[in-house]
Structure 1
Amino acid sequence: MTTFNDFKLERSVIQAIQDLGFEEATPIQSQTIPEALSGTDLIGQAQTGTGKTAAFSIPLIQKIEKEEQKIVSLIMAPTRELAIQVAEEINKLSKFKGIRSLPIYGGQDIVKQIRALKKKPQIIIGTPGRLLDHIRRKTIKLNDVHTVILDEADEMLDMGFMDDIQSILKLVPEERQTMLFSATMPPNIKKLAQQFLTDPKHISVAPKKVSSPNISQYYIELHERQKFEALGRLLDMESPDLAIVFGRTKRRVDELSEALKKRGYPADGLHGDLTQNQRDQVMRKFRDGSIDVLVATDVAARGLDVSGVSHVINFDLPQDPESYVHRIGRTGRAGKEGSAWTFVTPRETDHLHFIEKVTRHKIFKKPLPSFSEALEGKQKIMAERLLNVIQSKEFTQYKGISIQLLEEYDSVDILAAAFKLLTGDDKQEVRIQLTPEEPIRGKKKRQPFRRRVTSSNNGSSKSGGGYKSNYKGNSYKGSGYKGSNSNSKSSRTNRFNEGKGEKKQYQKAGRHI
């Protein structure tokens, strides 16, 4: 067992570590900190949630002098959220030493950042694009930087930051220490390391299983139209402390978060089109428990580190195994157990088995939660809330009306009615409309050529030749879609006559259908 006292850190740094409750160093920390303190260039390969932020922050704070009045360290991160979180971690670890750090990222007023730079921070944590903006404005100068850290380097390169990173590193003095941290080591990461690192020490603590053993992983096979009802039932049945629901697109996240709110769930959405202020507000509500369901895209959730996330739900199956591992890694952290649930359509089962193979972790099949299971879960939550109120004895003002009701009605009926109100089952069913999405690797059925015809009934417009849309006003209600297609006799006759006309046109052209 390696403790932080073994690294011979100064008292102010040890005090901050103890104040955060850290005792034993994680594997990435025990191997990285001594090398980083020696000034060696290094490559750290570890999954998210293993403590790598502290692994590079602790030696960085140890080496910087409090009296320094210039930027001496530069940390690059792929997203605003990660830059903010790294800055927060550094602030916590350096609070007794008085080191000044500043996050720099897009989406925030650049004038505000320029004012903050006048306070002479020693450490800059920034996204590559915004860093280049400041460098070009000459509001950030890298002449005195002696330590550079690339955090989540694979994510940065996946997001297209290679040219920006290279431009920035060329402006930093060659006499420096460079540390690169990445969960994976694709060829472009190796190329970057060869170009900018000098005889780096390679530290790898990748686990045998890519996904955490603390996370129970399940999938539910269902049709697209069943997903939203399944989500509601799953949330009721599992009653998560905090849950992150992943959608594939920004539009999906918006629709899904609004649909959950209409159903009475405390939820909100997070994606790249939100302003920084909106993103901060959503994350603040999620962290303080004002909402307990966060709907997010992959990009928006990169770098999120929220303690207490008990459930991750993949409403849409991710495109690749790396995204799957990153998503479910939001739960099961710091030794706690977590659950990951994935909705899979029949066409996506092969892709799910591919994810199982790459991650080397079995994902167990579960049936679609039944209405009775969901109701039982809701009743369990309400019973716990009711018992908490009873134990608190803070209900004196309601005793009068309770006595009156008991004189007129049966006590069991009153309690059952109260449960119905608490669980929201008295509310009228809310119609929810979500835009259907194409499944991964799904084969599109060949559609016959149809002339786009409009009638006053379906509200479409006459626009000459074209394909008739496959999706028409699908909406969720209960456990299935209700289509808006007309099945009237006249409508069927129109389509039949239309088909005959098309056939004649094709035959004239020497084609057959």
Structure 2
Amino acid sequence: MKKFKDLGLSDEILSILKAQRISEPTPIQQESISLIMDGKDVIAEAQTGTGKTLAFLLPMFEKMSPHVDAIQGLIVTPTRELAIQITEEAIKLKEAKDLNILAAYGGKDIGGQLKKLKGNIHLIIATPGRLLDHLKRGTINLSKLKILVLDEADQMLLMGFKNEVETIIKETSKNRQTLCFSATISSDVKKLAYRYTNDPKIVVIQKEEVTLKNIEQYLIETTDRRKQDDLCRILDETNPFMAIIFCRTKRRVDDLDMALHRRGYNCEKLHSDILQSKRERIMKSFRNCDIQYLIATDVAARGLDITGVTHIYNYDIPENSEAYIHRIGRTGRAGGKGYAYLFVDPKDKKTLELIENEIKLKITRKIPIEVREES
């Protein structure tokens, strides 16, 4: 088992990790950091919650200089929430090296970003749309870029950002180091990554070990008409510390949020139609444990790493096993125990079979307490 000091990190970085009580590198960090420090291009496959962000941020900080008046690092990520989350992690490392960091994403005042860009920026964390906007305005120059990171590459392609990402890459220095991190390396991700990397090293961290080991999974057989009552019975029975409830669509999130508020539950909703400033407030409240239930779509919650989530409730069945693993992987983190509940009605039977086959597990059927008492 490698330690952080074995990966070539400086004493300043090691000191910050120690202060944050991060004692041992995760598998993705063990495999990636040394390669990145050696200047290799990397294509890495690892689930959300495995420590991917520090796997690229730590070596980036080591390789960038506050004395160079140029943008040296760029991290492109699909959603605003992920951009905010990565920025928060990067700011924690500023004590080791005082790099100027800019988060550039839609929904945030572009005027403030333009003002900040008049200074010397070393690291930019951006969503594709806003970054392209800056490139078109000529307010960002990537010609001296040292390191480019494509984070959650599979999701960027899924969300239709392929053309934007390729346009951005063409604006960067040809001598850059390129890192591609993704939960899954699909054929599309592979094509994109190989086109823009130079003799890349491949890092693959196995999925099931990471996401399922510490999570107890339960299935509630229900109908769409009865689902809301069954969910509330399970919420009352489990009374989680912090939980995320997943719905299929924004409309389903809105309807469930309204219904749970009427029933007196401490909840907030999260999806892409909510104003960015409000989304940031909701996420801050959730992280501070002021909200017990976050009701969200997959896209809004993609990649969010929130400490303390004890329960996941799949109000609507995910479309495939990969989406299921992504959802439930937000609990059972860092060796803690997690609980996942899946609500299934008769029309979901085929999808359920596919999920159970893929994860090689027949999920435990569970009947809510009140239903057991009635029967």
Deviation (angstroms), 1:324: 1.1
Matched-pair contact (CA < 8 Å) for 1:260–1:267: yes
Residue 362 of structure 1 corresponds to which residue in structure 2? 362
Residue 162 of structure 1 corresponds to which residue in structure 2? 162
Residue 351 of structure 1 corresponds to which residue in structure 2? 351
Residue 78 of structure 2 corresponds to which residue in structure 1? 78
Residue 213 of structure 1 corresponds to which residue in structure 2? 213
* Structure 2: runs of 5+ lacking an equivalent: none
Matched-pair contact (CA < 8 Å) for 2:86–2:125: yes
Distance 1:340 1:208, change over 3 A: closer
Deviation (angstroms), 1:209: 5.1
Q: 1:429-444 residue pairs with structure 2 within 5 A?
A: none
Matched-pair contact (CA < 8 Å) for 2:208–2:359: no
Q: 1:61-72 residue pairs with structure 2 within 5 A?
A: 61-72=61-72
Deviation (angstroms), 1:210: 7.2
Residue 234 of structure 2 corresponds to which residue in structure 1? 234
Deviation (angstroms), 1:207: 3.4
Distance 1:119 1:335, change over 3 A: farther
Give me the identity figure in percent: 45
In structure 1, C-alpha distance between the alignment counterparts of 2:297 and 2:128, rounded to whole Å: 21
Residue 301 of structure 1 corresponds to which residue in structure 2? 301
Residue 138 of structure 1 corresponds to which residue in structure 2? 138
TM-score, length basis structure 2: 0.96
In structure 1, C-alpha distance between the alignment counterparts of 2:326 and 2:112, rounded to whole Å: 32
Q: 1:303-342 residue pairs with structure 2 within 5 A?
A: 303-342=303-342
Deviation (angstroms), 1:14: 1.3
3-state SS of paired residue (2:207): coil
* Structure 1: runs of 5+ lacking an equivalent: 375-513
Matched-pair contact (CA < 8 Å) for 1:222–1:368: no
3-state SS of paired residue (1:316): coil
Deviation (angstroms), 1:211: 3.7
Matched-pair contact (CA < 8 Å) for 1:79–1:127: yes
Higher relative contact order by CA 8 Å / sep ≥ 6: 1 or 2?
2
Matched-pair contact (CA < 8 Å) for 1:72–1:146: yes
Deviation (angstroms), 1:156: 0.6
Residue 107 of structure 2 corresponds to which residue in structure 1? 107
Distance 1:373 1:351, change over 3 A: same
Residue 476 of structure 1 corresponds to which residue in structure 2? none
Matched-pair contact (CA < 8 Å) for 1:70–1:122: yes
Q: Deviations over 1:114-151 (max 9, x none)?
A: 12222322110111111100000011110110110111
In structure 2, C-alpha distance between the alignment counterparts of 1:263 and 1:119, rounded to whole Å: 50
3-state SS of paired residue (2:58): helix
Residue 193 of structure 1 corresponds to which residue in structure 2? 193
Matched-pair contact (CA < 8 Å) for 2:50–2:210: no
3-state SS of paired residue (1:334): helix
3-state SS of paired residue (1:224): coil
Residue 277 of structure 2 corresponds to which residue in structure 1? 277
Report the AA paired with residue 253 of structure 2. Answer: V
Residue 149 of structure 1 corresponds to which residue in structure 2? 149
Deviation (angstroms), 1:362: 3.3
Report the AA paired with residue 262 of structure 1. Answer: R
In structure 2, C-alpha distance between the alignment counterparts of 1:292 and 1:203, rounded to whole Å: 36
Deviation (angstroms), 1:355: 0.8
3-state SS of paired residue (2:334): coil
In structure 1, C-alpha distance between the alignment counterparts of 2:332 and 2:306, rounded to whole Å: 11
Residue 124 of structure 2 corresponds to which residue in structure 1? 124
Matched-pair contact (CA < 8 Å) for 2:48–2:305: no
Matched-pair contact (CA < 8 Å) for 1:210–1:360: no
Q: 1:385-424 residue pairs with structure 2 within 5 A?
A: none
Q: Deviations over 1:377-428 (max 9, x none)?
A: xxxxxxxxxxxxxxxxxxxxxxxxxxxxxxxxxxxxxxxxxxxxxxxxxxxx
The CA RMSD measured in Å over matched residues stands at: 1.5
3-state SS of paired residue (2:333): coil
In structure 2, C-alpha distance between the alignment counterparts of 1:324 and 1:119, rounded to whole Å: 43
Distance 1:207 1:256, change over 3 A: closer
Matched-pair contact (CA < 8 Å) for 1:209–1:360: no
Matched-pair contact (CA < 8 Å) for 1:312–1:331: yes
Q: Deviations over 1:274-310 (max 9, x none)?
A: 0111101111221112210110011111121111001
Report the AA paired with residue 9 of structure 1. Answer: L
Deviation (angstroms), 1:317: 0.8
In structure 1, C-alpha distance between the alignment counterparts of 2:24 and 2:287, rounded to whole Å: 26
Residue 29 of structure 1 corresponds to which residue in structure 2? 29
**Higher Rg of the two aligned structures:** 1
Deviation (angstroms), 1:69: 2.3
Residue 58 of structure 1 corresponds to which residue in structure 2? 58
Report the AA paired with residue 31 of structure 1. Answer: E
Matched-pair contact (CA < 8 Å) for 2:153–2:180: yes
Q: Deviations over 1:32-51 (max 9, x none)?
A: 11100010111111111111
Q: Deviations over 1:426-463 (max 9, x none)?
A: xxxxxxxxxxxxxxxxxxxxxxxxxxxxxxxxxxxxxx
Report the AA paired with residue 32 of structure 2. Answer: T
3-state SS of paired residue (1:90): helix
Matched-pair contact (CA < 8 Å) for 1:247–1:315: yes
Distance 1:373 1:231, change over 3 A: farther
3-state SS of paired residue (2:226): helix
In structure 1, C-alpha distance between the alignment counterparts of 2:203 and 2:123, rounded to whole Å: 24
In structure 2, C-alpha distance between the alignment counterparts of 1:373 and 1:182, rounded to whole Å: 46
In structure 1, C-alpha distance between the alignment counterparts of 2:221 and 2:136, rounded to whole Å: 52
Matched-pair contact (CA < 8 Å) for 1:315–1:343: yes
3-state SS of paired residue (2:335): coil
Report the AA paired with residue 81 of structure 1. Answer: E
Residue 11 of structure 1 corresponds to which residue in structure 2? 11
- Aligned positions, number: 374
Deviation (angstroms), 1:371: 5.8
Q: Which is further off, 91-100 or 10-19?
A: 91-100
3-state SS of paired residue (2:140): coil
3-state SS of paired residue (1:370): helix
In structure 2, C-alpha distance between the alignment counterparts of 1:3 and 1:99, rounded to whole Å: 25
Report the AA paired with residue 50 of structure 1. Answer: T
Distance 1:133 1:116, change over 3 A: same
3-state SS of paired residue (1:312): strand
